[in-house]
Structure formats: structure tokens, C-alpha cells
Structure 1
Amino acid sequence: MTSSGASGVVHPDIEQVIRNVAFEMLKTMPVRLLHTPTGILCDRNTQVSHFMDSRQCKRLVSLCSTCSQDQQMELIRTDILRHFQYIMLSHRWGEDEPSLRAVEGCSIYGMSTRGGFGKLQAFCRVALERDYLWAWSDTCCIDKYDCAEVQETIGSMFTWYRQSALTIVYLSDISDAGSLGSSEWFRRGWTLQEPLAPRTVLFYTQNWSLYKNLVVSNHEADVAVLEEVARETGIESQFLTNFSPGMDDARLILQWASSRRTTRPEDIALFAFRDLQRPSLCSSGKISVLDWVGEPSPFHSCFPAHIASYQRPPALPSYPNTEEQPITMSQGPSSFEVMRNFSGSLATSLLPCFLSRSLTLSSVAHRVPAVQQRTPDSYSPSDVYDFHSLTRVPHPRILNRLLILPCIAYRVIAVQLSEPDPSRPNYTYHIQASGLKPLEITSLIKLEDIRTPEGALHLVGPWHSKLLGPSVEPDAVTEEQLVSALGTPFNALLLTQLSHHEYKRIASSTLITVQSVDQASILESKVRILNVV
């Protein structure tokens, strides 16, 4: 069926065009949404059907039949966006939270008001009062038994919060007279992304009243509330109102998370694995998620057992005399010196990992496919890249829960234990490594206990060509730039070699800062691909 507009243009079936556009636009929105007038959980097919049966759609069809195709598309997109505005719930999980299975096919308004069910009903009523037809809660809008859906959700959470028309933060432990900062919501790891991603936020207290009865459209636009949130989260107000993945330093983001608690140690490892798997992170070379000191996770040696391991910012030592200055072939400070600091910047969001409280590394992470599959000539333990081919080194990544890490490796040739201090639960060693200046390492375990016949120790500096500078073109890198970057002190990892060409990180209680002996050792630098477990 076709219709002809006033301009004489022949239009295709308008309803089918509207349907196609709706499905296309819904791809970037949550898979399921609660329809607030009915309390029914709807998938995308049902959501589109709701729109196609609405008076808004009938009006849209009528308007489109009298305008050009370009005008049609503008009208269609505008009306679909308006119709599918949705709000998100940010909260702490409590008892009896409704699952997808519990609400599927039923109206939530007809269910019990106990625990999480009452919370969900109140949330949807607030959404409806504010004229939003659609609402999302992580308790019931995700099928946690569908691994593919879980992975899509993990990767989409930040975008969903960012695109939402409104995020309601429900503080179940704050009374009307209470203070925002006393809520546990500010101290849980899973809620870190929720002050950052949404553009519009409203805080509701225990009885579903607006915080301090502030009737405004956005609490983060209120100076007093914004200052309170900044104080309690440790996040500067400029980031609360204008955060964008890619604009911030990894250490800053990790420090925001470091004061928060998670209920299981595997949450930290899952968080780190997901972050490293993001292609944008691997290709950018921003791998400072590995830069921590403390107890290692039982799930992977390169990630900490506790998020608090990221609390201390990394710092390189200052060198008071010229003999200890970074090696360089030019006079004056090098613009590349700071880039060799392994802690570097991490232009990414760590936030897509903060999803379901029911996810565990053991149940999910081992099923996560690698972002980019290995090619026949990539990531072999025999691969070696010399000084003149450092800009062609492949990117680090995760493959089958293995951290495949390009590194400049320095073999440890001498280890001497300092006189032990009974009052300190660690061990200090004087270390000599081929190509590096002598240094001290403080380990949480005795190195003698982990050395095996094949278990040589190595100090390694994870390598990526972007360490030369964010805007340096690999094909245009000069020898001077390489020498300058490699001559700067950097934070290293201590690895012990296992069988089958695998390595394990040995945790330390202080950062391990190393420096090349001289320019000759720099020119002999080689990058190897190490498989770290």
C-alpha cells in the first residue's frame, strides 16, 4: 500500500517503516522494560506492539502521509524517542528481590508488597507519575540464566544509564530527616557507575519522598546536593556532571572504587577481566589496571584480591643527582619521559562490569569469549620483537582467562634477602636483573619458596607502542624517542616462570620501580609475549 503526499512523492507502507525504525532504535536500549501503566514486563517485540497500537502512532501515520520522506524519518525518530523514554532504578539489593521468572507474564501491581516487590511497585508508580511509560530495574529486567544476554547487559549498562531520561536513586536506609552520605549506597562497589553515567538523577528516601523535599528536575544540578555527593563518593563534581568514558585516568577511577565494598573477591577479578577484554582498551595500550600492590586474587595473579589495593596512587622516585637521571639522547626534559610510567592514563569506563550482584567469575568469566581471536602468528611464546620493531608489537588481551601480555623482560640474576624484621610481615630483597640498575623489592612471600627448576624470576615492563605518547605515529617513531622512553624509570611486575610457557605474578607490598642501566642495554631491549595466569 502506498500513499502520495502533497509534494507528489510516493511513500512506501508508512506503518512498516515506523516498525522497522522502532526496532532499529531499540537496539541500543535495554532488552526488557516494565510498562508502567500495566506493570507488565515487555520484551522488544511487545514494546513495539505497544507503540504501533497507540494513539501517538496513529497520529504519526497521519502526519507522515502528507510530508516528504525526509520529513517522515525525522518525525518517526522524534516520536519513537519520545515514546520510549525510560527511567532506571539505582538501589541496593535487599531481601525478596523480584526476578524475571517471578514477574514474567504478570502485573507487578497485583503482587505482594513485601521486600523488593514493594520497592519495584513504588518505583514504577513514581515513573508513571512523572509520565514515563517505561522503567528498568536490574532485579527483574535481566535473564540471568541466559549467558549471552548477561554479556550484552554487562557491555551495555553504562550506555543504558547514560541514555535514560532519568535515574532514580532509592536510598532505603535514609529517612526524611537523614543525611545522604550515611547511606550504604555510597559504599558499595556495584553502584559506582550510577552517579557517573546518568545525566539526570533524583534521590528518593526510605518512604519514597524526594531528598530534602527538593522538587527539582535534577538533584545533581543542585549545588548543595552535588557537593554532598562529591564529598561522599570522593568524585569531583566536574566528573559527576560531565563524565565521559575516555576522558579520565585509570588510577583516578580505580581510586573511586577502592573505598567501596563488594561481597565476593571474584568481583574484582571479573571487573578487571571485563575491562581488559574491551577492544578499545587493548588497542589503546592503557593497561594500568595491572598497577597495584597487595594481596593477589585467587582467580588471577595479575589482579588484586581487594579493590582497596588501588587506593594508593603510583609514584616514581625522584633522582637528586644527574647520575640517576633518566637516560636520554637530548638535552632538557623529554616529552616522552612520563609515558614510560606504567600507571599511565586509562581512557575507558570501568563501569560496564558493575552489573548483577549475582554474577561470579566462576559462573560467567570462563564463558566469556575473547574479543579478538588469536591469529596464527600472534602471541606465541617464541615471538621476539627487537628495539627497532617495538612499534609493531601486538596488543595485550585476554584469551581463555589467560592474560597475554607483551613485555620487555629482564631476567633476575641475583637475589639476596635482607636481614628480616620480625615486626614486618614481608621480606625485603636486593635484586640484580640483567640490563637494570640494582634495586630492592619488598615481597609478601619468600622468593625462595616459589623458585622451581624452571621457575626463573623476571622483572617485566608491559609494553605498548602508545607508551611513547598518545599522538605518536608508530611509523614515525625515532630512535631518540625510543631511547628516551625506555630510559625513564617505570613500574615493573615480578613474574616467576611456570611450566608450559606460563608465568605467574609475585605480589609485592610496594611498587617495583626499575630503570635501565645505560643506553647500550636499552638498545638491546626485546619484547616477548608472555602468558600470565
Structure 2
Amino acid sequence: MKFVVRNDVRKHFRGSVPEDDLEMRYFPPNTVKYAILSHRWLDEGEPTYEGMKSGIAAGPGYEKLKKFCEEAQAYGVELAWSDTCCIDKSSSTELDESIRSMFRWYENSEICIIHLAQSETVEDIMNDGWMKRGWTLQELLAPRKIKLFSSHWLPMTDDRNDKSYEGTRVMKTLERATGIPLDDICIYVSGSFGVDRRMAWAARRKTTRVEDVAYSLMGIFNVSLQIAYGEGGDRAFCRLIEAIMQSGNPSVLNWTGQAASHPSFSRAIPKSPQSYEGLTLRFPNVCQLEMTMTSLGLRVPLVVLPLNINSSIYTEQFEFDQVLDVWKITLECPLCPTIRINFAEYEENSNCQYALGIVNYSLGSCDVPRIPGQSVGFILRRVPERHFMLNDYVTVCKPRSEHFPGLKTVSPASHECGQWSKVYTTGLVEVNFPEIPSDSYFHISREYVEIVYL
């Protein structure tokens, strides 16, 4: 084992890597083949950059490093990389670059060797601490090839690559232990889509530094953040969500529970990955949604359809569920009376106005909004600044049967109301307009497109 720095690697591969030929597409793993280690850090200490450079590294962590290098040789690589000693953590610049590059380093490796320090058999994997750590999520997904080793450095299988579509015993165990579908484990594509589904994978994982909850997910969603340890976990996670929102994929809005408590950020940003648990949603006719963070909050153009509280349960108060300690509410859309949305709120406020903010609409000719028969949106609420009767909320006009049999044109009444906010007890909801085929659209007046600040 020889500890080498960047210049040593550059000299070793000089002549093999095209530096000036801009026409040639260069893929690093084809030339610079290296093994990379995925593991849990030992409480007794790990070899550091300074210790390896000075030649004084020793102890259980150093022995683990040696075993890693021995196993790496079987894959015909000349180089091996470990996060404990291959990052100069005394340099803030290098630390920042390393954390931003981590996903790509695992992705470009020839082999990722995973040491499961608490497992001796495949069944032990279910309870191994490696499955519960934040950084190991990308270390499982990013590499093209992985090899699992037990606590005593015995291979878990006879295969050279444990990532298999065939659903081997160890792969099925990984699928159960992580909750990640087999296809995603075998071939993972990073990007800011399916945010709700993939955030749920990280929901129960822990990190030593609170900021790493966000930093460890950068590569998963293919975004980049400036590293700022000490900013706090809430602020780091808010910045992560802001970066993901720039992609315009509405799945980032599919969350419930507490909004971020940091005063500098929008209330449309959730508090943590736990907010996305259990909320996977199929998006029919997904459209990119313009999302811009402003000083007033998240600026989102939505088709805002008014919702009325169902008169069959609305008297002077909502229906209260004593078991769940929530108010159960049923909302109807005057545009399509067959649509009913059931949800629950923790607070009773009979003066609220409700609406459905459709996210998967498109603007046709003359900027006329087109809404698919299968739509997706989230429930909005706002409190009027003066008391009003519920029946004053809408004015029902003549039917628009030429577009939608039974559809009525509804115009919001003139009320001085507060700002719309997202109902936190529900995520995005699917709404089916039964008179419209799933592959068709109905057109609605431009006045229903509203700029909402959340």
C-alpha cells in the first residue's frame, strides 16, 4: 500500500488520458480504474489523511483499510479510495469539493467494496447499521458494481458483482432492508424527479452531522450545494429543496407534516425527508411547473379551482374524529360536483376558503389552460380578512357543456383574503374528471391561472 496524491495519479496516467482532443469523449472509468470503500466509521478511530501521509496510521481502522486494498486487487485495479483518509479535511476547499463530488466518485468506480461490520450472514443485513446511515444510500445506488463482505471480510456471495437483476437472495434482502425497488438498486439514474418516492428512501437514515442529511442527498437528485457546516440541518435541507425545485418537477411538493421552521424560507418547503414517507404518487401527464423562490415565498402559477365544504356535513363546525384527534372535511368542486376530496385538519376554522391548485396543466393556443382528465394538485386554504358567508364564495353561471358536460363556470366572489397556503395534512392528490377521458383535456378560462405565493 502506497499513499499517493493527485499529482502522482496524474503522472501515472499521463499519456493515457486525452487532454487536448476536444472531439474525443473521455469516460474516466475506462482509463482510471479504482476501487472505492463503503463502510461505517469505527468509534476507535479511522486512518486520517495526515496519519497516512506521515506514515503513522495504525489501529483497527488501518487494518480495515488494508483488507479493503487486498480485496480490491482481485478486480485488477491499481488504485483504491477510502473517505477516511483520501480527503484532506483540514482544507475547507477540498472538503467542499469532495462532498459535492462524492456521488460521481462512487458512480465512476470500477468496484465498490461494502464492508458490513455487523453482518455475518445474509439475514444479518436486515439489521446492519450500514443500512441506516445517510451517506451509504448513495454508496449503494451510485456504483455500477458492488461487492458485499461480512464483518470478517468473507464475501457474502460467490458473484464478482452483487448487483443483479435476477433477484438473488442478497439482492432481495437489500431490497427489503432499504425499501428500494430492485430496478433502482441495479441501475440508478440521478435527477430531480420522483422526489417524493426517493426522499422516502432516506427518511429513516441518520447522519452524525445534522447538515449531512441534506449534503448526502445532493448526488441522489443531481444538485449542488455549497457546504457550510454549522448552518444547521433545517437550513441545509431547505437549500436542498430549493435546488431541487429549480427542475420544476411537482413531485417535490408531495409532502405532509411540518413545514420548515427557518424564517428565511418558504412554507412550501418541508422540514425533513420524513415528510415524504408513504406519499408516492403516479403523475399522469406530468408537466414541468415553474417554481421561483422570492422574498414573498415560493412563486407558483397554478390553475386554482374553488372548493366548497360539503353541505351535508357542514353546519356550525366540521366533523371531529375523536380517535385521530382531527377534523374531517369533505370538499366539493363546483366545476365538477362529482369530485369530492376527503382530508383532515388539526384545527377547525369554518371561515377558511379552500381551493385545488392543479399542477399538471398546460397552456394551449391563446394561453388557454388545458387540464387533463386525470389531474394532480394540492389543497390550498386561506382565511378571509373579514367574515363572509360560505355561499358567497362562488357565483354559478351557465354550464359549459361544449367542453365538459355538467361543467359550470365559477368565478370567485370579491373578498379580501389572506395569502394561500398549502394544507399540511395532505400531499398532492389525484383528481379524476369522470366526463373527460384520461387522454383528453378540457379548457378553462384564463382567469383561473393564478400566481400563488406559498
Structure 2 stretches lacking a partner, 5+ long: 215-233, 385-417, 436-441
Distance 2:3 2:54 in 1: 8
Q: Does 1:217 align with 2:217?
A: no
Q: Deviations over 1:255-278 (max 9, x none)?
A: 444465567876366457425515
Distance 1:134 1:224 in 2: 30
SS of 1:483's equivalent? Answer: strand
**Aligned-pair distance for 1:211?**
1.5
SS of 1:195's equivalent? Answer: helix
Q: Does 1:405 align with 2:294?
A: no
**Aligned-pair distance for 1:419?**
3.4
Preserved contact between residue 255 and residue 428 of structure 2 (Cα < 8 Å) = yes
Of residues 97, 117, 126, the one that matches 1:181 is 126
Q: Deviations over 1:314-373 (max 9, x none)?
A: 569xxxxxxxxxxxxxxxxxxxx932xxxx599xxxxxxxxxxxxxxxxxxxxxxxxxxx
Q: Give the equivalent residue in structure 1 for 2:273.
A: 307
Preserved contact between residue 168 and residue 204 of structure 1 (Cα < 8 Å) = yes
Q: Give the equivalent residue in structure 1 for 2:142.
A: 197
Amino-acid identity (%): 23
SS of 1:239's equivalent? Answer: helix
Distance 1:403 1:145 in 2: 37
Distance 1:345 1:161 in 2: 32
Preserved contact between residue 117 and residue 150 of structure 2 (Cα < 8 Å) = yes
Preserved contact between residue 308 and residue 332 of structure 2 (Cα < 8 Å) = yes
Of residues 378, 393, 397, the one that matches 1:492 is 378
**Aligned-pair distance for 1:243?**
2.7
Q: Does 1:168 align with 2:97?
A: no
Q: Does 1:446 align with 2:347?
A: yes
Q: How many residues align structurally?
A: 382
Using a 3 Å threshold, how does the CA distance of structure 1 residues 273 and 208 change in structure 2: closer, same or farther?
same
Of residues 428, 452, 456, the one that matches 2:328 is 428
Distance 2:53 2:208 in 1: 32
Q: Does 1:134 align with 2:79?
A: yes
Preserved contact between residue 173 and residue 205 of structure 1 (Cα < 8 Å) = yes
Amino acid at match of 2:256: V
Preserved contact between residue 483 and residue 523 of structure 1 (Cα < 8 Å) = no
**Aligned-pair distance for 1:445?**
3.2
Distance 1:497 1:503 in 2: 8
Preserved contact between residue 380 and residue 420 of structure 2 (Cα < 8 Å) = no
1:60-209 equivalence runs, <5 A? 84-98=32-46, 102-103=50-51, 105-107=53-55, 110-114=56-60, 116-128=61-73, 130-142=75-87, 149=94, 152-175=97-120, 179-209=124-154
Distance 1:136 1:444 in 2: 50
**Aligned-pair distance for 1:200?**
1.0
Using a 3 Å threshold, how does the CA distance of structure 1 residues 462 and 491 change in structure 2: closer, same or farther?
closer
Q: Give the equivalent residue in structure 2 for 1:508.
A: 425
**Aligned-pair distance for 1:208?**
1.8
Preserved contact between residue 408 and residue 463 of structure 1 (Cα < 8 Å) = yes
**Aligned-pair distance for 1:443?**
4.5
1:212-361 equivalence runs, <5 A? 212=157, 214=158, 216-221=159-164, 223-245=168-190, 249-258=194-203, 260=205, 267=213, 270=236, 273-274=239-240, 276-278=242-244, 282-283=246-247, 285-299=248-262, 301-305=267-271, 307-313=273-279, 338-339=284-285, 344=286
SS of 1:192's equivalent? Answer: helix
Preserved contact between residue 303 and residue 359 of structure 2 (Cα < 8 Å) = yes
Amino acid at match of 2:276: Y
Amino acid at match of 2:2: T
Q: Deviations over 1:32-63 (max 9, x none)?
A: xxxxx3134x2x334324545xxxx6xx79xx
Distance 1:259 1:235 in 2: 13
Distance 1:210 1:135 in 2: 18
Using a 3 Å threshold, how does the CA distance of structure 1 residues 149 and 430 change in structure 2: closer, same or farther?
farther
Structure 1 stretches lacking a partner, 5+ long: 1-36, 317-336, 347-393, 469-473
Distance 2:79 2:292 in 1: 38
Q: Give the equivalent residue in structure 1 for 2:447.
A: 524
**Aligned-pair distance for 1:297?**
4.1
Using a 3 Å threshold, how does the CA distance of structure 1 residues 503 and 252 change in structure 2: closer, same or farther?
same
Q: Does 1:47 align with 2:13?
A: no
Amino acid at match of 1:217: R
Q: Which has the higher strand share?
A: 2
Distance 1:134 1:400 in 2: 48
**Aligned-pair distance for 1:140?**
3.9
1:461-476 equivalence runs, <5 A? 461=357, 463=359, 467-468=361-362
Q: Give the equivalent residue in structure 2 for 1:419.
A: 319
Amino acid at match of 2:451: R
Distance 1:90 1:401 in 2: 43
**Aligned-pair distance for 1:162?**
1.8
Preserved contact between residue 135 and residue 207 of structure 2 (Cα < 8 Å) = yes
Q: Which has the higher helix share?
A: 1
**Aligned-pair distance for 1:522?**
4.3
**Aligned-pair distance for 1:205?**
1.1
Distance 1:90 1:400 in 2: 41
Distance 1:521 1:157 in 2: 47
Distance 2:296 2:75 in 1: 45
**Aligned-pair distance for 1:241?**
2.4
Q: Give the equivalent residue in structure 1 for 2:370.
A: 483
Using a 3 Å threshold, how does the CA distance of structure 1 residues 315 and 239 change in structure 2: closer, same or farther?
closer
Distance 2:319 2:65 in 1: 61
**Aligned-pair distance for 1:100?**
5.6
**Aligned-pair distance for 1:497?**
8.4
Q: Deviations over 1:154-196 (max 9, x none)?
A: 5433322221111111101012686433323233343222332
Amino acid at match of 1:507: Y
Amino acid at match of 1:240: I
